[in-house]
Chains A and B, each alone.
Chain A
């Protein structure tokens, strides 16, 4: 099939797709007139039932906790799958890794200058702190394990971006990252099983709910689950970036 035929075929198919979409959207009650009772019920009951003022996190880790376990394991599997797919093929050898600072930098004039390196290194600490804060305050504010985990991972990635590749590798050994990711994923599943061990359904909120809604120690398992999710997401992203960086060191022997 030539590319013009391909385009015509696509045009016809896209027209059919758009027609079906518009037919489906015609059945929806317009933008802004959300009718569904589920959302309203949760908005009315969530703060009373879980003492968490961040209703989205309460939905994520309590009311729809089972979906979140599934999503987290998708993340876990993607990171593990990358390690499997990006294995060394036959005939590949690894370069020696080198920092992009110091004497190596003098030999390569196209470096990230100090204007990039120094702010990046300065921002590592605050970024890690912000990521940690976000991951552990899911029940109060717009925060949560997923966002906090990505920001925590980007703190590690900032170390690489500032040219300190060897430091990045030393601070994020694959064994440690694997262990942290496993602890995060298993922690979430274990909290659910701990509820089962006490005779409740899986992922039931069995920890004490605290006094003030939205305080750090309130909302039972929501804060704990969010913390574990943050660990797992951070480790997964640092693993992913580490895998891709390892690839840049490999070189085909028979190029």
Chain B
């Protein structure tokens, strides 16, 4: 239990990178990039977890209950939303590439110059 989250993070990173390396389609590559990014959320939350802690919201629980770390949650939270917008920007690049060159295969796209 001490190391399981970190092993899963390493697995997700390698799986996502494998998908990017062996991909023949830009959209498949973009989705594998999303998977790699999701590993960072798991890592952030895994680092900040306190055994026996509750969520850091003190609306109806007494003030000094043991709670998990709120800073990493704040980082992961903005991360998730911003990732979607950056993915949309990447997709717009893919759309324009398809319009110009007619293909979404990264091996063929690499041969076009300018």
Chain A residues at the B interface, C-beta cutoff of 8 Å: 3, 6-7, 10, 14, 17-18, 21-22, 25, 28, 30-34, 36, 38-39, 42-44, 46-47, 53-60, 63-64, 67-68, 71, 74-75, 78-79, 81-82, 85-86, 89, 140-142, 144, 146-147, 149-150, 213-214, 233, 236-237, 240, 243-244, 247, 252
In the assembled complex, the Cα of A32 lies from the Cα of B2 at a distance in Å of 7
Give bound CA distance, A59 to B67, whole Å: 14
A-B pairs with beta carbons under 8 Å apart, 8 shown: A21-B13, A33-B51, A34-B68, A53-B57, A58-B70, A67-B78, A71-B79, A141-B57
Number of B interface residues in the complex (CB < 8 A): 54
Contact at A233–B74, with CB atoms within 8 Å? no
Q: What residues on B are CB-neighbors of A240 within 8 Å? A: 85, 88
B93 interface residue per 8 A CB criterion:
yes
Give the residue of A14, A22, A31, A233 whose beta carbon is less than 8 angstroms from that of B46: A31
B22 CB contacts on chain A under 8 angstroms: 3, 6-7, 10
Would you call A60 and B3 a contact (CB within 8 A)? no
Most chain A CB within a 10 A radius of its CB, from B9, B14, B50, B81 = B81
Q: Please name 7 further chain A to chain B contacts, defined as beta carbons within 8 Å, in addition to the given A64-B74, A78-B82, A89-B100, sorted by A numbering.
A: A31-B49, A34-B49, A39-B48, A56-B74, A59-B73, A82-B88, A85-B96
- Whether B71 sits at the interface, judged by CB under 8 Å, is yes
CA A58 – CA B4 in complex, angstroms?
30
Which residues of the other chain, A, contact B14 by a CB distance below 8 angstroms? Answer: 14, 17-18
Q: CA A137 – CA B88 in complex, angstroms? A: 28
B1 lies within 8 A of A31 (CB): yes
B53 to chain A, nearest CB (A): 8
The 4 closest A-B pairs by CB, nearest first: A39-B69, A32-B51, A78-B85, A30-B2
Q: Does the CB pair B50–A53 fall under 8 Å?
A: no
In the bound assembly, the distance between CA atoms of A54 and B61 in angstroms comes to: 12
CB A46 to nearest CB in B, in angstroms, measures 8
Residues A56 and B47 in contact, CB atoms below 8 Å apart: no
Name the distance in Å between A212's Cβ and chain B's nearest Cβ. 10
**Contact residues of B: prevailing secondary structure:** helix
Whether the Cβ atoms of B5 and A82 lie closer than 8 Å is no
Whether the Cβ atoms of B78 and A43 lie closer than 8 Å is no
Given contacts A34-B47, A56-B73, A74 and B99 within 8 Å (CB-CB):
no
Which of chain B's residues have a CB closer than 8 A to the CB of A71?
78-79, 82
B78, A53: Cβ atoms under 8 Å?
Answer: no
Q: A54-B57, A60-B74 are in contact. Are A79 and B67 (CB under 8 A)?
A: no
Least Cβ–Cβ distance between A126 and chain B, in angstroms: 21
Q: How far is the CB of B6 from chain A (nearest CB, A)?
A: 4
A81 near B78: Cβ-Cβ < 8 Å: no
Q: Given contacts A31-B2, A86-B95, are A142 and B55 in contact (CB under 8 A)?
A: yes
Inter-subunit contact A53/B85 (CB<8 Å): no
Q: Is B112 an interface residue (CB 8 A)?
A: no
Q: State A42–B56 Cα separation when bound (angstroms).
A: 10
A112 to chain B, nearest CB (A): 23
